[in-house]
């Protein structure tokens, strides 16, 4: 059983390209928590309807407990929602209609709730939303299209309870949301190493990531907000993550999507990703998951082989998660810039938003197969 380590000194970057390596034998440091996979949790047993509490799995299993520990529980309400929120929640698309921001937000929510990730929710039709729609179409045996069509919308809204779940909701900010450590992230590795942690740079950044939104959209929905404890703001309802155990993932370099499959070969989730770059391409072939780390640090190796250790935090170069592979130097990890997923380069690894990386960390099996396509 490979350990899930809260803070590890085992993440190492090799050379100027900052390629990653993790040794399974060195992964166990402080706050060890074994990930024990429990295949008894099925998506069919876990309602995607959140009923006032988002990202809270109500199953007495180790997988549910792990996911609940990794992802923040979000309590919300729908009392006296704003006109904008009501418009999004009641939005309904029909053939030929434009995808305005209300429809776009609801479309992104329906895709996310059915475990086809769109990245940071911003209400706009774009690359990541299209890819998520196409993954949903594949899963449901629909024609794969470039644009939204009636057949796809009907499939997305076929579950009445899910289709009427609120997309935008009220959330009352707590002290713990506001009283957080922040920092200014410098450019160089040595300057970063001097920081106490690679914290968020602002409360807005922390809130946007907590609610899986773009910072700009969060501020647009709350134009008069001061973002202080006790204040009620409008947020996106993230829903619940996939709870099906993942035994195989496929990183598709063409679609820039990570597809996750269960033991039966069923596609249970998809995530937008950045897979390598022209300068530092990802590997080919099939590999396995060797180690899983929550809140890793990052060791940068300079040209003279000296090393600089960058502390953990959401703005760490590998974000909040490192899932190391059997191929040395490569892994699946989070990102300090989730809004640019699929629009940025990686150093050959599989880069996800921090929230998608955390959701995958909670479900991917030890020794799971990782294929680069």
Q: Please give the pLDDT value at position 26.
A: 28
Please report, for residues 48, 121, 241, 248, 251, the alpha-carbon distance to residue 264 in angstroms, rounded to integers and kept in the order given. Answer: 21, 30, 19, 10, 18
Handedness of CA 265, 267, 269, 271 (dihedral sign): positive
Query: What's the distance, Cα to Cα, between the start and end of the chain in Å?
Result: 27
Q: Please give the pLDDT value at position 371.
A: 96
Please name which of 285, 296, 269 lies closest in space to residue 371, comparing C-alpha atoms: 285
Handedness of CA 357, 360, 362, 368 (dihedral sign): negative
Classified as helix, coil or strand, 200 is strand
Please name which of 298, 243, 248 lies closest in space to residue 70, comparing C-alpha atoms: 243
State how beta strands 246-252 and 364-372 pair: parallel
Q: Structure pTM?
A: 0.88
Residue 332 β-bridge partners = 323, 350
- For the chain, which residues score pLDDT lower than 70? 1-47, 276-282, 343-348
Residues 6+ apart with CB under 8 A from 291: 2, 3, 10, 22, 23, 24, 27, 322, 323, 324
List the alpha helices (DSSP H) in the chain: 62-70, 83-89, 101-113, 127-139, 150-156, 160-163, 175-178, 189-193, 203-210, 215-221, 354-361
Phi, psi angle pair for 26, to nearest 5°:
-105, 5
Q: If 0-12 CB within 10 Å is exposed, 13-18 middle and 19+ buried, where does residue 43 land?
A: middle
Residue 267 β-bridge partners = 261
Q: Please give the pLDDT value at position 281.
A: 56
CA 298 – CA 10 distance, rounded (Å) = 8
CA 267 – CA 274 distance, rounded (Å) = 19
Residues 6+ apart with CB under 8 A from 180: 199, 200, 203, 206
Q: What is the DSSP letter of 142?
A: P
CA 208 – CA 222 distance, rounded (Å) = 12
Please report, for residues 99, 153, 162, 172, the alpha-carbon distance to residue 157 in angstroms, rounded to integers and kept in the order given. Answer: 16, 6, 7, 29
Q: Please give the pLDDT value at position 360.
A: 98
CA 301 – CA 16 distance, rounded (Å) = 7
Q: Please give the pLDDT value at position 46.
A: 52
DSSP string, 258-302: EEEE-TTS-EEEEEE-EE--SSS----EEEEEEEEEESB-EEEEP
Residue 323 β-bridge partners = 292, 332
Are the beta carbons of 310 and 322 closer than 8 angstroms? no
Side-chain-side CA neighbours of residue 79 (13 Å): 6
Please name which of 142, 160, 118 lies closest in space to residue 356, comparing C-alpha atoms: 118
Residues 6+ apart with CB under 8 A from 336: 185, 198, 314, 315, 316, 317, 319
Q: Please give the pLDDT value at position 9.
A: 37
Q: Please give the pLDDT value at position 43.
A: 42
Q: What is the pLDDT of residues 157-210, one digit of tens each?
A: 999 999 999 999 999 999 999 999 999 999 999 999 999 999 999 999 999 999
């Amino acid at each position: 059983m490979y350990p899930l380590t809260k803070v590890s000194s085992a993440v190492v970057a090799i050379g100027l390209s900052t390629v990653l390596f993790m040794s399974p034998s060195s992964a166990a440091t402080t706050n060890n928590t074994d990930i024990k996979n429990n295949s008894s949790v099925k998506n069919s047993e876990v309602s995607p309807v959140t009923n006032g509490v988002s990202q809270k799995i109500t199953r007495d299993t180790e997988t549910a407990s792990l996911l609940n520990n990794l992802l923040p529980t979000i309590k919300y309400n729908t009392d006296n929602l704003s006109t904008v929120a009501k418009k999004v929640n009641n939005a309904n698309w029909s053939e030929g209609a434009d995808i305005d921001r209300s429809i776009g937000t609801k479309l992104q929510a329906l895709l996310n709730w059915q475990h086809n990730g769109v990245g940071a929710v911003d209400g706009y039709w774009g690359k990541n939303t299209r890819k998520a729609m196409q993954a949903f179409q594949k899963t449901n045996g629909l024609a794969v299209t470039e644009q939204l069509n009636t057949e796809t919308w009907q499939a997305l809204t076929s579950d009445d309870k899910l289709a009427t779940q609120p997309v935008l909701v009220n959330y009352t900010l707590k002290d713990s949301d506001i009283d957080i450590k922040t920092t200014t992230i410098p450019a160089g590795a040595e300057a970063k190493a001097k920081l106490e942690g690679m914290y968020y740079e602002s409360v807005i950044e922390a809130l946007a990531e907590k609610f899986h939104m773009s910072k700009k959209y969060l501020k647009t929905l709350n134009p008069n907000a001061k973002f202080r404890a006790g204040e009620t703001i409008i947020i996106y309802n993230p829903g619940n993550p996939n709870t099906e155990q993942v035994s195989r993932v496929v990183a598709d370099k063409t679609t820039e999507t990570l597809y996750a499959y269960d033991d039966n070969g069923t596609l249970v989730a998809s995530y937008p990703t950045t897979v390598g770059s022209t300068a530092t391409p990802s590997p080919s072939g099939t590999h396995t998951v060797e180690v899983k780390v929550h809140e890793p640090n990052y060791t940068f190796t300079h040209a003279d082989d000296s090393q600089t250790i960058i502390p953990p935090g959401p703005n760490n170069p590998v974000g909040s998660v490192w899932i190391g592979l059997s191929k040395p130097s490569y892994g699946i990890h989070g990102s300090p810039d989730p809004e640019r997923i699929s629009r940025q380069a990686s150093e050959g690894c599989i880069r996800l938003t921090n929230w998608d990386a955390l959701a995958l960390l909670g479900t991917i099996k030890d020794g799971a197969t990782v294929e680069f396509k």
